[in-house]
Amino acid sequence: MSIWKDISEVEVRERRLHSIISYNGTGKDLHEKAKAGYAASLDRSYSQCASCAESCASTITARTKDSAVVFHSPVGCNATVINFTIGIRSVSLSRNKQPYDVQSLCTNIQEKDTIFGAEEKLRQTIREADRRFHPKFIYISTSCASGIIGENIEAVADEMEEELGYPIVPVYCEGFKSKIWSSGFDAGYHGLLRKIVKPPRKKQEDLVNIFAFEGTDTFTPLLDRMGLRTNYFVALASPEQLETMSEAACSTSICETLSLYVASALEERFGVPEIKSPPPYGTDWTDTWLREIGRVTGREKEAEQVIAEDRERCRDEIEDLRGKLEGKKLYITAGDAFGHNLGNTARSLGVELVGITSLHHDLMTDNPASVNSMDALVETAGDIRNFTICNLQPYQIIKILKKLKPDFLLCRHNGMNALGAKIGIPTLFEGDANYSCGYLGVIRLGRRLYEALQTRKLVENIARHAELPYSDWWMNESDPFYFLEGGTNEQGN
Ligand code: SF4
């Protein structure tokens, strides 16, 4: 079945990839179940907090240079975009590029609009975005409100495209449609693939698409020595770069949760091969990733040289860090595939991976041959005894941490990191997703984990004074999975 369909929206992950938001077991068991096409996904009768696909779509739309985003929503839906301006400014400066701001407006859908419709407001807001920002294209980011009242976004986009003379890109990311927030990544990239990315005019044999967020430029030092250019998406990418992503020699990413749809669609539609080995996190995955890039781009010798040089350069410090960290117990909370990446990086340091909580798990990929970091993790790390899928429920994770008592906690998402300190566990926040990438990334993670260990006395002190918002019943008597109930998920259903 075709991955790419020239229709207005891409199916959400629950239906496309049979993704799940709850599971409690082991890494191997989950992986076996995913391969067999079945894993129970229980619903929660109580959710402490959540996010929404619209915010994941914004990680793409709001970061795009020389464009604007019109949120067709109540004002609260676009609150998270403020964060992106800070990120874009810092990454621009760190890469010696001209900083730019997020350019967004909101139609501010109100109660009366839900009765009379808000399409005229949308037209006016698009005109205002054109007047203020002079963008090269404009995204329309949808919301629960615009979806529920059935706004004809396609018609407005076509009309405004004709009026303004440049692409208007609808991104269908209504929060109610999916409990898998990562569906928003697919929605954002689908909009780009549909309206902005053009068929290749020529192949750029030395160009590597890298799907990432912002973060440190850790890919160029690896690929530059192989005579390859990095083409990061979407932060800092110009509209011209977006248009020509179809000309690259291959695509890779910091994690397949972000890129699985766009990379598979690019491969199918324009013949840009997706790198099928897991991303370069941990020394062994970095070896295989570089070799795969070398194979696909015809630079095998150069890849071997980079591996030999970097292995030699990093060997002593990695050994030293292994001596300090060997056997220490680590727990990770992260988005789906990124948890696997961090787990493998920690393995290179001899750290014992006692458990992972992922925000969701995709039981399948769009292209069955795509990269599968879970497969690689289970193969390299053996089983992960405590593997939980949980879409950001601190009340549940805190019980797991109390039981397992890891030496440190590694959190990919802001807000979870305070949790560790409150219960006396030294905690690291992995805000920069690129930072632990490559051989140097292993050292960077090792140094930070070692520093985190030195904070034990401090966090124990914090824990003694911290008040948790949970009852004694919850903390002492109940099962962490008490609020899970019913539901199944089976591929093909
Ligand atoms: S789109 Fe829906 S779920 Fe998302 S922030 Fe707006 S109201 Fe909330």
Q: Which of 69, 77, 172 to mutate to test the pocket of ligand 1 (most atoms within 8 A of CB)?
A: 77
DSSP 38: B
Domains 52-180 and 315-485 alike in fold: yes
Q: Give the Å distance between the CA of 411 and the centre of ligand 1.
A: 24
pLDDT tens figures, 162-182 = 999 999 999 999 999 999 999
pLDDT of residue 486: 60
- The residue nearest atom 6 of ligand 1, judged by CA position, is 77
Q: At residue 487, does pLDDT exceed 80?
A: no
pLDDT tens figures, 401-442 = 999 999 999 999 877 888 899 999 999 999 999 999 999 999
Neighbours of 483 (CB within 10 A): 18
Q: What is the CATH topology of the domain spanning 52-180?
A: Rossmann fold (3.40.50)
Q: At residue 489, does pLDDT exceed 60?
A: no
| Distance between CA atoms of residues 458 and 162, nearest Å | 61
Q: Give the Å distance between the CA of 143 and the centre of ligand 1.
A: 6
Q: What is the CATH topology of the domain spanning 204-300?
A: Rossmann fold (3.40.50)
> Which residues line ligand 1 at a C-beta cut-off of 6 Å?
52, 54, 73, 77, 143-144, 174-176
* Domain 315-485 CATH superfamily: Nitrogenase molybdenum iron protein domain (3.40.50.1980)
Residue ranges of domains in the chain: 52-180, 204-300, 315-485
- The residue nearest atom 4 of ligand 1, judged by CA position, is 175
The residue length of the chain stands at 493
Q: At residue 367, does pLDDT exceed 80?
A: yes
Q: Give the Å distance between the CA of 51 and the centre of ligand 1.
A: 8
Query: Quick check: 390 and 332 in contact, CB under 8 A?
Result: no
Q: Which of 52, 149, 151, 172 to mutate to test the pocket of ligand 1 (most atoms within 8 A of CB)?
A: 52
Q: Give the Å distance between the CA of 75 and the centre of ligand 1.
A: 10
pLDDT tens figures, 111-166 = 999 999 999 999 999 999 999 999 999 999 999 999 999 999 999 999 999 999 99
pLDDT of residue 43: 85
Q: At residue 488, does pLDDT exceed 80?
A: no
Question: How high is the mean pLDDT of the chain?
Answer: 94
Q: Which of 80, 176, 180 to mutate to test the pocket of ligand 1 (most atoms within 8 A of CB)?
A: 176
Residue-by-residue DSSP string for 284-351: HHHHHHHHHHHHHHT-HHHHHHHHHHHHHHHHHHHHHHHHHHTT-EEEEEESHHHHHHHHHHHHTTT-
Q: At residue 354, does pLDDT exceed 50?
A: yes
| Distance between CA atoms of residues 136 and 487, nearest Å | 45
Query: Quick check: 122 and 156 in contact, CB under 8 A?
Result: yes
Q: At residue 450, does pLDDT exceed 60?
A: yes
Percentage with pLDDT > 70 across the chain = 98
Structure token pair of residue 284: 């062994």
pLDDT tens figures, 189-226 = 999 999 999 999 999 999 999 999 988 999 999 999 99
pLDDT tens figures, 256-309 = 999 999 999 999 999 999 999 999 999 999 999 999 999 999 999 999 999 999
Q: Give the Å distance between the CA of 81 and the centre of ligand 1.
A: 13
